[in-house]
Chain A
Amino acid sequence: MSLKEVITTAKGAIKDLTEIEVQTYTGQIEVAVDAIGTTDFAAILESAKATGNIKLCQVTKITIDGDAMNLVPDTAPPEHAAEAHKSALEAGQNVRSSMLELFKDLIEKY
């Protein structure tokens, strides 16, 4: 990763640190793996969804003030999927916290 990319990432991160959204999909993840490295990841993902190889099973959104929104299908996802979703959510919070720690001086100034 070049310095330019780092700065861009940092800019983007700071820009939307106010909320966290985690979406968990189950199914054949080869599609997602194959999509790595492609430029239009989102398009491939939509295509996979359409073919039914990947299925969204849980969505959670947490704002900075602590409000949370959790979307689950009618049929409850497998237990390991729920566990993974929970971990991803916590990891996301940690990442946000790290970013705030790293760029706190910058945040304090602006």
Chain B
Amino acid sequence: MLSKQDSNELDRGLTLMRKNLLSTDINELLIVNRYEQFSVDLVDAKTKNLIVGLPDKVVKDKVYDKERLQVICDRLHNLGYLNKANIKSVLNNNVIDSALKTAIENFQLDANLKIDGWIGDKTWLALQQLVTFEEPTKIHLWLNKSGQVNNALKRATQLRLYSLGLGDKPKLSPTAPALTLIKFRKVALTLFNGVEELNERQLLALLFDQDRMIQNLSLFSGNIHAPECRLEQQFIIAITKVELWLYGAESILPDANLIEQHKKYRAGARRRRKRVNVQLNVIEKSSLKINTSSFFYKALNSTWNKLLDKRVSEIKNKSSMYITTFPTFFKLLNELDEVDDRNLIQSLDAYVKKNKKNIKTIWKRAKNFASKLFDGIKRIGRMIKRFLGRVVDVTVEWLARPFYNLIVGIYKTLNTSIESTKEALSFLFSRYLKFKNNNAALAIKHNDADMNLFIDDQNASDVIDFSQKLLLLSKKLKAATKLISTFLTLLKSAFLALTGGWWAFFTACVNLYKDFPELINAITVLNEGNIIQLEQ
């Protein structure tokens, strides 16, 4: 049975598991469900006084709580130390009377324990080992100095055989019954392998090891349907009931109790007697067919239903013909025991550790994901930066190119203007005008702008070309003189500013602003067409 510490640990583990139920592993979910069911069963069993925690180490006022007192009394009674009437008295008054104290002392004496009339740790554990089926009993602890089985174990053996349908219930007696394992040896020889060579102590060890017997039964392959196997059949029914009881079917009464009830109610109502008789028939005759109104049948149905995924009719048939199929039942139970509840805490611990590993794995994955996400963001950042850089570059290029073109244009314009101005001025001061590659016309220019024009009347196209160039050059001359005039005005204004004040310079600039369209027009004319080259 679990101690309080184990119980608390189990509760904590279950809470943790519930929190981590996000797991998709079906096996883990099954384990968790089973643990949860176990926890519920544990509470239920405590409520029904089917199990009791370990005794408190500190004895308070030599008084047991009521549940513990009930269990102590029941166990001492089952071992033949305490009368049932005494139990009733003790429970009603909730005190340790002399009968109970004597019973405890007798048990302690038989079990080679310190005799103090109090159920402390050692006495409690001794009762636990001898009476319950949960843990295998260590036989060597129950031997006298001479190596003989002590009286406590003799009583426990009788109780165990009674529970397994192989003997009578221990009676209230100051002396222990004789140790007789004849029936058990016979049953064991039929049902279990390798029993021939077991001595008495080994046989006792087998009797007090429920799991080992179940395992042996699961491997059985013989035939027990013959009438001479009635004892074996009885044993199988009884051990099945014990097993079902251990699995929670607490309503199943030990067979011998039915016998007692039968005796008790022998003179009772006919109907009740009939019902009891029917149940007794099941046990006494060890019929291969089981009564469908018994708790055993219902418990079997329920267990088959849990163990097998079969139709209802098939399950009922299996329960009714239980003996013929009994190895199957134990095989299934044995498989079920692969996940041993005794290792519950260890399993739970392993589960928690595994989940811790999972958490580490999840954290690792999360870190990887975050790292990738961060890389992605960085990459996007770099792309945006590159894109913005490109936008800036293009924008700068778009702005710079026109600016550059403007500067170049201005430079070219000014340059062309200067070249054109030079050419135009040379036209002003030349005596004759003759253009390169044109021999069809010639102009003799006088100082006052009068002209003598000589043309070749046979070459019309060249003459026209000459006249166009002449006209354009004169226009450029006009524009150039305008620019020069403006420049001279500025120069004069600057000179005046230096000598007479900045107001004059400002006025000149304002006047220049008025002439601005004219200046632009002059520059445009100067840049019109190619530079006309005069032949010197």
Interface of A with B (CB < 8 Å)? 1, 5-6, 8-9, 12-13, 15-17, 19-29, 32-33, 36, 41, 45, 54, 77-81, 83-88, 90-99, 101-102, 104-105
Contacts and interface: CB of A to CB of B under 8 A. Distances in A.
Contacts of A17: 448-449
B478 A98 contact: yes
Given A28-B456, A81-B455, A102-B485, A90 B474 contact: yes
Given A84-B453, A104-B485, A12 B478 contact: no
Interface of B: 427-429, 432, 434, 439-457, 460-461, 463-464, 466-468, 470-471, 473-475, 477-478, 480-482, 484-485, 488
A93 B113 CA distance: 152
Main secondary structure of the interface of A (DSSP, over half): helix
3 smallest CB-CB distances across A and B, nearest first, come from A12-B447, A16-B448, A94-B474
A73 B488 CA distance: 46
Given A16-B448, A17-B449, A32-B442, A90 B471 contact: yes
Given A16-B448, A36-B434, 19 more contacts: A1-B429, A8-B447, A13-B449, A16-B450, A24-B453, A27-B456, A32-B454, A80-B463, A80-B464, A83-B467, A84-B463, A87-B471, A94-B478, A95-B427, A97-B481, A98-B474, A98-B478, A99-B481, A101-B478
B442 A84 contact: no
B460 to A, nearest CB: 4
A101 B449 contact: no
A72 B464 CA distance: 19
Contact of B460 (A13, A16, A78, A85): A78
Contacts of A33: 434, 439, 442
A95 B428 contact: yes
Given A80-B460, A101-B478, A25 B448 contact: no
B470 A25 contact: no
Given A91-B471, A91-B473, A15 B478 contact: no
Contact of A25 (B454, B467, B477, B485): B454
A78 to B, nearest CB: 5
B475 A94 contact: yes
Contacts of B450: 16, 19-22, 92
A78 B461 CA distance: 12
A81 B464 contact: no
A106 to B, nearest CB: 11
Nearest to B477: A98
